[in-house]
């Protein structure tokens, strides 16, 4: 079989490309991070690379559509379409790299009395003798019963395998970690008992190393979900697995390896061995949950969107390939539906749902946005397809919230001020930047409340049939191109925000409430934390409540996972709330379309009787 050598610059990674393998597949196999929102179908235009030398397959229809003649002439290709036919040198531009995104790990710290699933007991055993030949294990179980009145029945096989030599080394004194009626680990007395809470997101993973006896967080780390190379959004990733069933194990292994790396990093930060972790809790959306467990995912993406497993799952970490204490369990709280995962349930838990006063909406904004309405004990949940615009997808110069992304923007007359992540030179615009830009264009009268670019502002121009607004001029340094916001970009944002506002409105309507009755809106998640609330209200993404009614709680899903790790009572509370919540499907609601059309409009307004009631800009 023929193969070629591909040199990926500026990373300097070099490797063999197999016959008929696309540049993207080759890059992923070699561990070169090229982003691919659509999962390699040639539709998203995010895997643009530049060919410096070598020959490749002729441009496909997708490439002819995505790239101009000049770009093609300059050597630009879509990595998912181009198949090398010789050795090649390729440049991966920064905007095509699936580089690390800013990850939100902080959230409101909640304090609960520690009441973990795994409890450590200090044990002293009497040494055996010829007159007392009882087995080591029985000796341990008997001691637990005698010293703590704990009738344990099981001992993990790994404990059995190591107990005898260890207990002799430790001179018949040890610490036994007990979960329900099973001894899952023994260690020298005294040792730290740690737990790991994980928020497994589609894009990012946040891990929290916690001392189970105090409930204190010892170390925190955020990292990218490595599955991102196989489709950035949930649907693309599900599709990838459905089309290539043999890859399910590959995706599972990727995330397991990453979790192992995360555990190792966190432990080395506090100077302990990963075996000190005796319990792990993982929350995530239903697709990530299923992919981690190796459950089928196809039915998640098809109506009526049903999860394969909906109960809480406790599984030995080793069965998933996760390397913590050999007998430890991973606990996965129940998911709500195919589109509402245990991460949203964790958000509700972290936000102390049962203590919420007044009518409260919880939002977790992403490609798929989960919304819950909480009123006293009642929880109604829905999810809406808000699309990738808030993550920079389907936006001409959009990008994820990574270095160089415009995240804040203000327009004063002809002057545009903006702030980029890490104050790096601008590479593109991320979700919070797009929201700001549209709000500013609207306030400046450059677009009308229907979202149309109307003004003859010097920065408004036509490219082909399409109007666009020039946000950033071309810069000479690095040859970075200019950054624009097109009329279509504005339409994408309008569709995305209309989906969310319609979701809020229909949840309220179903429960007999109006927007004005809302006491609080809690916004969780990474995008929600960096969102400018006043811009969000200006474009009608959120209802025009006083700004102090909104609470941006950061990574509440991670906080909820931590609570479920520290406290069994919280674990049960979260589970009860999940089973109590009522899910409603929006798309079939007869008012959906009317409200969707209304909420596509920009401006500050209430929705009343399915119509907008405009307020002054303020």
Partner 1 sequence: MSGELTKAIADLEENEALRLAREKLDSGEDPKSILEESRNGMEIIGNRFSDGTYFLPELIYSAEILKEITEIIKPALKEDAQAKTSGKCIIGTVAGDIHDIGKDIVVFMLDVNGFEVFDLGVDVPPQKFVDKIKETDAPIVGLSGFLTLAFDSMKETVEAIKAAGLRDKVKIMIGGGQIDEDIRKYAGADAYGQDAMKAVSLAKGWI
CB of 605 to partner 1, least distance (A): 14
Residues 170-209 vs partner 1: string with x where CB under 8 A? ----------------------------------------
Contact status: 57 vs partner 1 (CB under 8 A): no
- Among residues 387, 609, 366, which one has the least CA distance to residue 489? 387
Residues of this chain, 12-51, that bind partner 1 according to CB under 8 A: 38, 41-44
Nearest-5° angle of CA 43, CA 223, CA 341?
70
**Percentage helix, strand, coil for the chain under 3-state DSSP, each rounded to 5:** 35, 30, 35
481-485's contacts with Cβ under 8 Å and 24+ in sequence apart are: 483/397, 483/406, 483/426, 483/428, 483/429, 484/396, 484/397, 485/395, 485/396, 485/397, 485/429, 485/434, 485/437, 485/438, 485/441
Contact status: 61 vs partner 1 (CB under 8 A): yes
Q: Which stretch binds partner 1 (CB under 8 A): 151-159, 424-432, 573-581, 590-598?
A: 590-598
Instruction: Pick from 127, 157, 302, 424 the residue near partner 1 by CB under 8 A.
Output: 302
Closer of 5 and 60 to partner 1 (Cβ): 60
Closer of 54 and 338 to partner 1 (Cβ): 338
Contact status: 298 vs partner 1 (CB under 8 A): yes
Closer of 66 and 259 to partner 1 (Cβ): 66
Instruction: Pick from 160, 235, 264, 568 the residue near partner 1 by CB under 8 A.
Output: 235
Whole-number Å distance between alpha carbons of 43 and 37: 9
| 69 neighbors 75 (Cβ within 8 angstroms) | no
Contact status: 491 vs partner 1 (CB under 8 A): yes
Q: Are strands 415-420 and 405-412 parallel, antiparallel or unpaired?
A: antiparallel
Q: How many residues are given for the chain?
A: 618
Contact status: 3 vs partner 1 (CB under 8 A): no
Contact status: 239 vs partner 1 (CB under 8 A): yes
| 303 neighbors 203 (Cβ within 8 angstroms) | no
Residues of this chain, 430-459, that bind partner 1 according to CB under 8 A: 450-452
Instruction: Pick from 22, 36, 204, 236 the residue near partner 1 by CB under 8 A.
Output: 236
Contact status: 601 vs partner 1 (CB under 8 A): yes
Contact status: 238 vs partner 1 (CB under 8 A): yes
**How many Cβ atoms from other residues are within 10 Å of residue 523's Cβ?**
23
Contact status: 377 vs partner 1 (CB under 8 A): no
Closer of 488 and 582 to partner 1 (Cβ): 488
Closer of 37 and 178 to partner 1 (Cβ): 37
CB of 487 to partner 1, least distance (A): 4
Which H or E element spans position 368?
strand 368-375
Whole-number Å distance between alpha carbons of 506 and 486: 30
Closer of 264 and 385 to partner 1 (Cβ): 385
Whole-number Å distance between alpha carbons of 379 and 377: 7
CB of 488 to partner 1, least distance (A): 4
Q: At which residue do the structure tokens 């637990």 appear?
A: 144
Structure tokens at 129: 């003798």
Residues at the contact surface with partner 1, assessed by CB under 8 A: 38, 41-44, 60-62, 235-236, 238-239, 242, 298, 301-303, 385, 450-452, 464-467, 486-488, 490-491, 494, 587-588, 593, 596-597, 600-601
């Amino acid at each position: 079989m023929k193969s070629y050598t591909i040199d990926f610059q500026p990373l300097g990674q070099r490797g063999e490309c197999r016959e008929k393998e696309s540049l993207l597949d080759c890059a992923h196999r070699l561990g070169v991070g090229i982003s691919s929102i659509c999962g390699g179908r040639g539709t998203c235009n995010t895997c643009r690379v530049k060919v410096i030398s070598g020959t490749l397959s002729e441009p496909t229809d997708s490439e002819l559509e995505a790239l101009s003649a000049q770009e093609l002439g300059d050597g630009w290709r879509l990595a998912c379409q181009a198949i090398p036919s010789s050795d090649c040198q390729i440049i991966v531009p920064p905007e095509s790299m699936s580089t690390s995104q800013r990850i939100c790990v902080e959230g409101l710290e909640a304090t609960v009395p520690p009441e973990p699933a795994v409890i450590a007991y200090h044990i002293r055993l009497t040494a055996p003798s010829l007159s007392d030949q009882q087995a080591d294990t029985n000796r341990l179980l008997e001691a637990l019963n005698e010293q703590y009145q704990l009738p344990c029945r099981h001992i993990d096989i790994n404990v059995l395998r190591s107990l005898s030599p260890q207990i002799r080394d430790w001179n018949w004194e040890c610490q036994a970690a007990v979960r329900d009626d099973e001894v899952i680990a023994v260690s020298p007395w005294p040792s730290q008992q740690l737990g790991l809470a994980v928020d497994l997101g589609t894009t990012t993973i946040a891990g929290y190393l916690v001392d189970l006896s105090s409930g204190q967080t010892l170390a925190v780390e955020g990292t990218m979900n490595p599955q991102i190379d196989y489709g950035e959004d949930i649907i693309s990733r599900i599709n990838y697995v459905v089309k290539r069933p043999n890859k399910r194990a590959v995706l599972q292994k990727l995330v397991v390896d990453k979790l192992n790396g995360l555990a190792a990093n966190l432990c080395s930060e506090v100077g302990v061995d990963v075996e000190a972790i005796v319990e792990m809790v993982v929350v995530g959306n239903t697709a990530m949950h299923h992919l981690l467990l190796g459950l089928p995912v196809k039915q998640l993406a098809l109506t009526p969107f049903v999860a394969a497993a909906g109960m809480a799952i406790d599984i030995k970490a080793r069965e998933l390939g996760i390397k913590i204490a050999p007998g430890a369990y991973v606990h996965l709280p129940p998911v709500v539906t195919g589109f509402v995962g245990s991460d949203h349930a964790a958000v509700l838990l972290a936000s102390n749902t049962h203590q919420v006063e007044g009518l409260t909406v919880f939002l977790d904004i992403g490609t798929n946005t989960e919304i819950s309405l909480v009123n006293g004990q009642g929880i109604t949940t829905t999810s809406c397809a808000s699309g990738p615009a808030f993550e920079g997808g389907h936006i001409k110069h959009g990008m994820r919230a990574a270095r160089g992304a415009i995240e804040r923007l203000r327009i004063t007359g002809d002057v545009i001020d903006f702030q980029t992540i890490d104050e790096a030179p601008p590479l593109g615009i991320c979700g919070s930047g797009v929201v700001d830009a549209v709000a500013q264009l609207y306030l400046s009268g450059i677009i009308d409340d229907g979202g149309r670019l109307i003004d003859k502002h010097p920065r408004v121009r036509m490219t082909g049939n399409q109007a666009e607004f020039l946000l950033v001029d071309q810069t000479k340094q690095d040859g970075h191109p200019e950054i624009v916001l097109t009329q279509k970009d504005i339409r994408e944002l309008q569709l995305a925000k209309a989906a969310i506002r319609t979701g809020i409105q229909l949840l309220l309507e179903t429960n007999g409430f109006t927007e004005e009755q809302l006491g609080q809106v809690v916004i969780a998640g990474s995008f929600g934390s960096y969102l400018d609330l006043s811009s969000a209200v200006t474009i009608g993404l959120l209802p025009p409540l006083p700004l102090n009614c909104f609470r941006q709680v950061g990574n509440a899903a991670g906080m909820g996972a931590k609570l479920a790790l520290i406290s069994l009572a919280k674990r049960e509370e979260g589970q009860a709330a999940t089973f109590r919540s009522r899910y409603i499907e929006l798309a079939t609601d007869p008012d959906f379309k009317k409200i969707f059309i209304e909420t596509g409009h920009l401006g500050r307004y209430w929705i009343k009787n399915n119509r907008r009631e405009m307020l002054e800009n303020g």
